[in-house]
Structure 1
Amino acid sequence: MEDQPLILLLFLVFFSSYQLPSSAYTLPDKYFINCGSNIDINITSRTYVGDMNSGHVSFTEQNSYVVDKKPASNTPSALYQTARIFRKKSSYNFKIDSNGSYLVRLHFFGLSNLRTAVFNVSASGFLLLHNFTIQNSDKTAVIKEFILSIPIGEFSIHLVPQGSSFAFVNAIEVFPAPPDFINDEHSNDQKGILPQALHTIHRINVGGPTLTPENDTLLRTWLPDDPYLYNVHTAINKQDLSAQPNYMAPVNKFIAPAPVYMSAKEMNIDTSRQSNNFNVTWSYDVTRNARHLVRVHFCDIVSPSLSNFQFLLYIDNYLSKEINPYQTTGQLATPFYVDFVVVSDDSGFMNISIGPDSRSLVKTAFLNGVEIMEMMRESDFVKSKQKPVFVIVVPVVLGVGGLVLVCIFGGLLFIILRSKKLKSIETPEGLPLTAYKGSTHSNRKKSQQSTRSREGTTNASPVPDLNLGLKIPFFEIQLATSNFDTKLLIGKGGFGDVYRGTLRTGIRVAVKRSKPGSGQGLPEFQTEIMILSRIRHLHLVSLIGYCDEMSEMILVYEFMEKGTLREHLYNSELPCLSWKQRLEICIGAARGLNYLHRGATGGIIHRDVKSTNILLDENLVAKVADFGLSRSGPPDQSHVSTVVKGTFGYLDPDYFRTQQLTEKSDVYSFGVVLLEVLCARPAIDPTLPMDQVNLAEWGMLYKKKGLLEQILDPSIKPQINPNSLRKFADMAEKCLEEDAADRPTMSDVAWDLEYALQLQQTAVVQEPHEDSTTNVSGMLLLPVIQRLPSMTAQFQSDDTSIIRPEGDSCSLLSTGEVFSQLRIDDAR
């Protein structure tokens, strides 16, 4: 008991002495320099000493100064009434008496003809400004802020006129930053942050007003976020400026002032809306292909009471981080921040988003502040052209318990506890989306928590089976389509409008957008994503990504240059397809459908096969599209009871009668497509006589009468070899059998179409006056590939061979070769 007072005394002494250095920091008095003047002026409680009066600052003599004795009414401050001009390479020299990080600010204002100046500024071996000019700055001062690590001794700022121009500066600030203002933790063999020069590009008070040096602890300016917000309707301002944040070490008022933490943007949740699954996104202009330190500030002023919830933070499309305010701080209105080092891509923009986490009971997200600082390269202003990949993540907050233990046990235990709290978020692994530069792979092992955090590359989806790696932010799609410019509209369908677009990486895409807010087509939208995200095939259109933010339902596909098959058959000014081209297109579509039926996991029935859902790329390679009505099930499943859906004219009558869906329903629809290809007319044409309205009925009637040649497309009639036509027509007839059990499989269809192509290529093409006997001998010259009956043929589920057009000929590719060319491991 006698030892207790001594222990208590030691504890109090240790606690009082163990104050983080930042808490004892006060804004220094030097150096604040009024350039080109012998007058000291007081601005924002700081005295800016005239550079001719300062005994601790010197500058070289190749200079002159100007004094605007009658300052213009548009001069924003007395600080900008004078400037020092340098005609030759010159410098300001400062005496530094302590090591550490320093804030360096340079002020420029266009007095007289100073806007014509072009010059460089360098310091500590870094080129801070290159070919700098303020020509575009009208009535506004330009303040450039840098954070530099400066040793004891002389510190020089060099100003170098370019060409025949000159250099100038109105004011300079050089003063020590608070200790631990920049955290120097790093991982792997990356350089730390402190040895580098940081150039502040953006400092944003999210959800709040402009903060000027008068109300900032380090004389900083914080700008409002609204000009950077991509969609102003996605967020609302939250403010509690009457309260004070609960600062907890190592966060203090010098990291960010109270107004930053007591204002925020929160998701604009609409309780009347069924889904509020969207992101709030800000887009900032940054230096291309350069490393940036990104600091994001959080303080929960949006929750009415303590609640355990988390949300997701995204930087561009390759970094995601789970934010859990109460795991971090344990109480309301307690500030914390997270630092990231991110390499920008070549777009010139960096996008920062917040969105809900599907695992959280509370579906909201908030953000208080953002700072973006470019990391200057030493002695080199040319930025690295490396691919964008974030490098370091440095979380920098501690819990209350950790701080108490620090006070008791000292620095060692502090470090141990802190290291347990820190989380290193690494590059998301295995993201399938290659449309965005920066979706790279990391070889490092991920912890369970970081694995969970990257499940939503853009944000969590209300449908758990959707491939979140394919999510694309809405603002990216707006950029790609010039905000859905009607000039880029290339089609309309039941789901919505289709636009041509170009992603920021130059990849061309087709963007299918449902009518915003309609709520129609959600099951089809989800089905298409779930199916296309798990299948890949040469003859199936690839899904690049999707967006389901707010009320939007958008699908992004690879762009098919030649449009739909129907557009090349009738009612179009496009060039007519040859018979050989039509055969190759039908073969490709059949192989795509066969892969759906037999090769895809679980087996998939398309349920909406038609000529508008067969797309053609620039080489006229066919790809089946539009899987919104598709159904999946085990391959051996004979039928699926389902509400009848499809397109009139293509609909399987057996399916319509029994409501039992099988893969043979696709076969029937494909038979209608074969007749479209043959006759170049729609499946349903109500303008024709009653007996001709339905193509399937009309075509089969003429086929059975032996009059099929009478209804052929006249443009291809002279090209068709009769044996090729006969094989093609026989297959179409089998596909259109009334009883589904009598129809062939898609593998049979593909094989017989391939046979029809061989007949067309090998036989002598007859002239219009010749009869079919001319071609019989040609048939005998074929390799022995015929099989009878074709109904017994079965392709393996891995598609043992695929015919792919190459110029005017076709080559046989093994499945392995096809998938090798697709580079399936890197697809999408």
Structure 2
Amino acid sequence: MIKISHHHQTPSLPKLNPMLISTLQLSSFLCLLLSTTITAAAVDDNSPWLPYTPTDYILLDCGSSSNTTDASLRSWDGDVRSQFSPSNIENTSSNATSSKSVIQVPYKTSRIFHSQFTYSFPVSAGPKFIRLYFYPVNYSELDITNSFFSLTSNDYTLLNNFSAFLTVSAMKPAVASLIKEFIVNVRDNQILNITFWPSPNSYAFVNGIEVVSMPENLYIRGNDHPIPLVSENQRFYIDNNPALETLYRLNVGGNEVSITNDTGMFRLWSPDDDYTYEDYGFTPHRDVAIRYRQETPPYTAPKIIYTTTRTMGNDSLRYNLTWKFPVDSGFYYLLRLHFCEIQLEVTLKNQRVFIIYINNQTAQRGADVIQWSGGTRIPVFKDYVIMVTDPDGRQSKQDLWLAMYPELDFRPEYADAILNGLEIFKLNRTDGSLAGANPELVLSPPSGPFTLSPQKKNNKETPRWAVIIGTVVGGGSVLVLILGFLIFRRRRRVKALGSTQPKSSWVPLSDRSKSTKTSGSSLPSDLCRRFSLEEITSATCNFDDNFVIGAGGFGNVYKGHIDNGATTVAIKRLNPSSNQGAREFQTEIGMLSKLRHLHLVSLIGYCNDNREMILIYDYMARGTLRDHLYKSKKQPIPWKQRLQICIGTARGLHYLHTGAKRTIIHRDVKSTNILLDEKWVAKISDFGLSKLGPIDAGHNHVSTTVKGSFGYLDPEYYKRQQLTEKSDVYSFGVVLFEVLCARPAIILDLPEDQVNLAEWARHCYKNGTLDQIVDPNIREEIAPECLKKFGELGDSCLRENGFKRPGINNVLWGLEFSLQLQEEAEMKGQGDGGGGGGGGGGLLPVALASPLTPPLHGESMTDNDENVLRSMTNSDKLKNMTLFSEIMNPMGR
């Protein structure tokens, strides 16, 4: 990928071949008519329009007794004897005492609060920016790590048990200070109060407070401006009295825009480089006159935001233009996207049309900046609201994704997308709170799935919380060593005795805390519940065979009822003669207890009593995906439903690969490990073989013994014993063809070239005969374009060279695009989707992928790979070769 760092260099846009694009559907083109229209003539930025002048503009240097000037030459008033401060403020100021270099005003002094304290600002009615400045260092004899406090403003909770120290420590890139910006609407005859509430046995502090008025309708636009609610077919209304927190304000494709270069409200616009996914895109810049209009007056954003931009450039069909932002779960978020066409090539409608995705959901089809704005150099913005769910029932950090890709259905002249600026705001909950959880601070070397490097401190005395954490982590390390020794000693003992009894690798988990029903667990009770053996035997009627709903390499799976029959669960019991044991048992608990996602099976708890190792999961009413494809008498699943199941599985894998602090590689993706609930929602299960990705960003693999299921194994991993997330992509590619063809990954009795589904499907795809191996139950349902895209996607996942396979994010995109093609074809009568329909129904011969097909993330679309190992497709070799026990069991895990 090429990134242009010279802003005045503008790449040519990739034109689409009109002979090829003429085959694309035009039916959805009408939605452009619903786009924003111009209601007033545009004016140049050098027009007599005046910049915004705030009616209220207050700068308070907390802890200072005199007026001071900051680096931008703004004058700050000291809060001592200030009209905004109570009279008892005299003895609560403190100077910074730290080895760090003190920045500028207002960070040189701070105000310390040991009890509730309120600043009162008599301001005019309307929305206000509240900016709070924090420099978390030790002040006098106070330990900054002990500073926790809440903050309220009028009817809103802005912060709750907030730690500036933890927040700054978790920020990337590293910073020393922090500005928290909020927007609060002040009603008529109301005083703007800002109240600090120290947590028990703690203190609060602040270095500076800024209050600035803003235009009435800048962000809070009322019921006259409904906002699309992403993923739901409805509009979102921000009323006239909300509270917002500014999380990100970015000059996309450009440099930092300082507060003095903003449009009268002193907003800081940061570069977007730290948030782009894998640093793709071009950043052209043209210093042109911007023609503001009534809908986007000059105070919307400064001119520089619209003269810099990030586009996709010549590689536009190879990846999504993507950004990623950590946010708090459990809140609605407002995203404002700023656009302005400044490139010479784009002057007319339908020259550059693209799709906007937010969190893998389609937010906008047919995005056309010229259509929206009415011409070049005219800025326009679009608002979207999305809910970031709280999957584990507790506030946690989640990634908010923004992505763009060319909208080829509109036959644009250029395959490209564009963005100039971006603002992201958190909206208050119904209880008036904007408060999120503090980030975690881990002080030990990596000892588990989600640990980080320690933070260095200058304190002479180790804080109490650090001692506690160190003790717990140290104790965990000792327990791991003891566990390893016990496993080693038992294996040696069994070998020495030459025992002929079925061997068991049972090892008791350590007891650290007491449960109400059972002995303790080394895991927090709110993450993973420990059951007694009595509870499990009661739930399964003493493991009655009539309760068995499945079996695998681990052992039998039973349907059970817990909590006096109120909850139905799936109970997986280790078979004593199984090749799997303590390691897989602990891996499953360690992984799943920390993961919560719609498309991952939830681990409810475990039992580790009386030499038993038992796992308890949410019950999946419809069983495994394989049960609905072959080897059962169940009704075949319609094609569109199969696509939706594949999309759900891809979302689960995407969460594993990108949603945690460390990449998680499942290592055993297959149709029997994809379960379906009663609503046909796909959920990934069985994490006993999962591995964490590399710690060092400079390494892209983990060296480990080959484990998995035969027929799904990544050949590169098999040969080199180097595991990557692309190994999961390969396995998922096999699942895709299982779904399409309704046959197992390996059938030994077939002719040699058909034994291995992966190689046989790729062979048929390249020869244009993929339609001949499609499951007859769905053959007449699949639209030709959908099959073409689906085949291309499966083929790309199965490339022998892992680097040439797409990332799971682009696999997910490709599946969603396949579903889109299927639905559009059904609307035109090309595929009946199981519901009839004529005129072009049925399959056509599938040719090689068209250059129009949206390609996959960061990969070459030309496949020059050598064939997959011939030894993996030779039936005689399959029958005779000796393999690892983990991949020999035809029943799987």
TM-score range, shorter chain: 0.3 to 0.5
| Normalised TM-score (structure 1) | 0.47
TM-score (normalizing by structure 2): 0.44
Larger-gyration structure (1/2): 1
Ranked by relative contact order (alpha carbons within 8 Å, sequence separation 6 or more), the top structure is 2
